[in-house]
Each structure stands twice: as C-alpha cells, then as structure tokens.
C-alpha cells in the first residue's frame, strides 16, 4: 500500500527490498520518469491464436500497470521466460521471472485458465509479476462497476480494468446509481429507482439474485460496505427509518446492519443533507459529504458516532470521497468553476491533484493497488470513465462506448 507520504514526494525514489534478496534495489525513479524494464523475449513465440492473444494482453497489462516498460531482447532489468500450451479445454502458461543480474527466480509458476479466455490468463500472470517485483497486488484481473446510458436508461454494468468485456447487469429501464462493492467482490450494493423510489439493492454476481435491502419511505442511498462486510454506511430519510425515534426529515448518515436490518443514526444535522459515505480501511471511521456549512464539504466521523470533524475547506464544493487502501482519500473538488480529482491525507490534510489536463473529473474510486484511480471525465457534454495514475502517467480511457458512462467503483483485489 502507498506509504502515508505526500504524493508529490511519494516514490520520488521507490525502494523495494526484493522478497528473494537481502539487498535493497531501486526499481522506479519517478523523479526521472524511469520505470523498471522487462524483457519478454524469453517467452517461446506462440503458434496459436489464443497464445498470441495471451502475449499481446500480457504486454499491454504490464505497460498499463505503470511499473514497467518493455525492453529489447537482453536489455531488461527483469526477464520473463516461459511458454504456453493448450488443449481443448485448458490453456497453461509456465513461466519464470528473473532479475537479469541474478540467477534466482522471483516467480516460478504454472498458470492455468479456460482455453477460451487467454486474456484472463494473461491478467493472472501480469498481476503476479507486479506483486513479485513491487510487493503490491496487480490490477489487471480486477473489475470496475459503472453506470452507462447505452440503452437509453441508466443501467448498471461491469467492465474489466483494461476496458474489455463490458457486460450489462441490470435491465430495469429505470435509473440505477452509486454502485459499491462488497469486500469479497461477490456482489454490489447500489441504488435503483425501479420501483419509482430510491431504494438500496444488493446483487450477487454469481447467481444474479437481487434483493432490496433498504426501502424506507423517502431516501435510501450510499450503501458503502464496511471492510468486515457486516455493515453498510447509508444515507436515509423518512418517517419510518427510525421507528420509536424522531423521524429523519433530512438525509442523514446511518449504519445499516446487513444481517438484522437494524439502523443506527450517526448524524442529525438540522437544515442540511449528508451524502456519499466511504469507510476507512480499518473500519473505524467514515468520510462523507455534508452541506451543513452552506456548501458540500468532507467530514469524518467515528463508526460509533460522535462529533463530526470537517476535513476540507478549499474549493466551493467537495464531493464523492473514496477512502483508499493506502489511507488516502480521493474526492472531487470544484475550484475555479471546474471539477477535478484531488487526494487528501486525512492525517496531515495535505492535498495533491493527480491530473490537470483541461477536462473535468469527478467520482473517483481507488484501485486496490492504492496507486490508480478510475474517475468520470466530462468534456464536450460527454462523460466517459478514465483511469488516472497518482504517480504521473497520462490518463487512459476505460470506456469508448455509445452513451455516457460514470459512477465507477473499482472492485477489491483478489
């Protein structure tokens, strides 16, 4: 995970003590823009279409990871040896990864996958190479949930982290918004207007079974699941949300027990609205949006309630926080009339901006590597989802499809 350091200093010199070496080696120097070079010429040239797709996907995954450049034969800091083979049902890749200057393998493994999915096999290999070299999990095998309008309605979709395999999850012919992953990546919680009111739904990705988990009379939104998977931070309003207690006349931050359905109210903010909760990685705090100061700003509160603490003050509006695995919070801030993605360290309140290219960025979501973000990019009245790199690589378009695409949510690492 990213150390708790200012991002502009983070990895100005990235040091990694290799898991199979007692020495410390400089792999990436962001001060000079260098990356680790990897030589793939030791892979036996594939003779099948599946093998060629595998190799092309592996090359692209390693480049998209942000950690590697592809080296000429014999010139890489790292070298991957291996070969693919397949039968009617299964495809295999047997590989070994070496530091060129050493003889001991950093990774030696046979990977297996369905013969019809060489891209998935390549994603596995790329992720383990990234982890063997950097100590961080790779993101090639991860998935991003998002909202798309290609059907003319706002439906829930999934897409691979490389932009492949777009698939539609809902066909409600209504409005779906704000997807959030379960911690084990088995499903999603999201808000749908399929019954005309904003209710919270949970959908199991394997079975497709969907259930309505919060249907109070007014608002049911949020749905950020705690790291232990037991609770959801939600924003509720309505007279029936807190039976026996004063009604929630404003949208308030609450905790929903996903097993019992019990609701615990964390805020009661007069003449204000709460929104967009996100859990700290340790599950002890929640960051959320409130306009109690007169404009949307970020606040922190204990999972047990108590007095909230205001986190942001710059910008006329601060929205869509996501508390990442490295302890940093990404959010959207409107400054100078334009939205952009910013990252704040909640301990020091130091703020950095990953990208400034003239477009508007909103709704950031952290990748499980704590380095990359997905965000909604709006330009010329069109919205697409882009991948951002907090260490300086250029933004990459994730979606290039009909309609508008927004509200990304990056799956947890496998």
25 domain-assigned: no
Would residue 169 be called left, alpha or beta, if left means φ above 0 and alpha means ψ between -120 and 50 degrees? alpha
Assign residue 97 the CATH number of its domain: 3.40.50.10070
Residue 194 half-sphere exposure toward CB, CA atoms < 13 A: 16
Backbone angles phi, psi at 409, to 5 degrees: -140, 115
Q: What is the pLDDT of residue 4?
A: 29
Same domain, residue pair 209 and 322: yes
Same domain, residue pair 288 and 147: yes
The residues, ordered by sequence, that sit 6+ positions from 208 with a Cβ below 8 Å of its Cβ are none
Q: Buried b / exposed e across 355-381, counting CB within 10 Å, b at 16+?
A: beeebbbbbbbbbbbbbbbbbbbbeee
| DSSP for 291-353, written as a single string | -TTSS-EEEEEETTEEEEEE---SSSEEEEEEE-TTS-EEEEEEETTEEEEEEE-TTT--EE-
Q: What is the pLDDT of residue 308?
A: 97
Same domain, residue pair 213 and 352: yes
**For strand 274-279 and strand 105-114, is the pairing parallel, antiparallel, or unpaired?**
unpaired
255 domain-assigned: yes
Same domain, residue pair 267 and 358: yes
Q: DSSP state, 399?
A: -
Q: What is the pLDDT of residue 215?
A: 86
Query: How many structural domains does the chain have?
Result: 2
Q: What is the pLDDT of residue 41?
A: 96
User: Closest Cα partner for 200 from 216, 185, 214?
Assistant: 214
Same domain, residue pair 223 and 189: yes
Full domain range(s) for residue 102: 35-134
Q: Looking at the whole model, is its pTM more than 0.85?
A: yes
Same domain, residue pair 207 and 59: no
15 domain-assigned: no
Segment (H or E) for 264: strand 263-265
**For strand 317-323 and strand 329-335, is the pairing parallel, antiparallel, or unpaired?**
antiparallel
Same domain, residue pair 130 and 220: no
Q: What is the pLDDT of residue 414?
A: 64
Q: What percent of the chain is predicted at pLDDT more than 90?
A: 80
* Residue where one domain finishes, among candidates 70, 101, 134: 134
Same domain, residue pair 150 and 130: no
Same domain, residue pair 223 and 340: yes
- Residue range 115-128, pLDDT digits in tens: 999 999 999 999 99
* Residue where one domain finishes, among candidates 114, 134, 154: 134
Compute mean pLDDT per 10 residues along the chain, 414 residues long, and list them: 31 31 31 77 95 97 96 94 94 96 92 96 98 93 98 97 96 95 97 93 95 88 96 90 79 95 93 96 98 96 96 95 97 94 96 90 97 95 95 94 96 83
Assign residue 206 the CATH number of its domain: 2.120.10.30
Asked whether 220 and 214 are in contact (CB, 8 A), the reply is: yes
Asked whether 213 and 202 are in contact (CB, 8 A), the reply is: yes
Q: What is the pLDDT of residue 246?
A: 81
């Amino acid at each position: 995970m990213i150390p708790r350091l200012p991002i502009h200093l983070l990895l100005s010199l990235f040091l990694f003590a290799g898991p199979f070496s007692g020495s410390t080696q400089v792999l990436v120097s962001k001060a000079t823009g260098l990356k680790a070079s990897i030589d793939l010429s030791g892979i036996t040239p594939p003779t099948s279409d599946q093998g060629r797709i595998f190799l092309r996907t592996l090359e692209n995954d390693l480049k998209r990871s942000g950690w590697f450049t592809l080296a000429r034969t014999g010139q890489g800091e790292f070298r991957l040896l291996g070969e693919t083979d397949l039968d009617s049902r299964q495809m295999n890749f047997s590989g070994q990864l070496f530091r060129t200057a050493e003889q001991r393998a950093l990774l030696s493994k046979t990977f297996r996958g369905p013969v019809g999915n060489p891209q998935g096999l390549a994603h596995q290999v790329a992720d383990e190479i990234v982890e063997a070299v950097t100590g961080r999990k790779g993101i090639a095998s991860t998935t991003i949930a998002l909202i798309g309008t290609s059907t003319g309605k706002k439906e829930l979709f999934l897409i691979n982290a490389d932009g492949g395999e777009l698939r539609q999850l809902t066909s409600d012919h209504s409005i779906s918004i704000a997807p959030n992953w379960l911690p084990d990546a088995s499903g999603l919680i999201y808000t749908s207007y399929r019954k005309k009111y904003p209710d919270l739904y949970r959908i199991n990705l394997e079975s497709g079974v969907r259930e309505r988990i919060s249907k109070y009379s007014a608002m049911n939104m949020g749905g950020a699941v705690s790291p232990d998977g037991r609770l959801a931070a939600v924003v509720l309003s309505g007279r029936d949300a807190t039976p026996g207690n004063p009604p929630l006349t404003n949208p308030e931050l609450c905790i929903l027990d996903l097993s019992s359905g019990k609701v615990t109210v964390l805020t009661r903010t007069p003449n204000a609205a709460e929104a967009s909760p996100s859990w700290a990685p340790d599950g002890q705090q929640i960051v959320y949006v409130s306009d109690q100061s007169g404009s949307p700003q970020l606040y922190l509160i204990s999972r047990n309630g108590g007095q909230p603490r205001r986190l942001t003050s710059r910008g006329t509006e601060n929205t869509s926080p996501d508390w990442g695995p490295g302890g940093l919070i990404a959010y959207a801030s409107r400054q100078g009339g334009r939205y952009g993605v910013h990252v704040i360290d909640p301990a020091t309140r130091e703020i950095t901006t990953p990208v400034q290219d003239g477009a508007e960025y909103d709704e950031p979501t952290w990748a499980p590597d704590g380095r990359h973000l997905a965000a909604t990019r709006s330009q010329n009245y069109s919205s697409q989802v882009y991948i951002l790199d907090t260490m300086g690589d250029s933004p990459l378009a994730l979606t290039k499809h009909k309609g508008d695409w927004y509200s990304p949510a990056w799956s947890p690492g496998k």
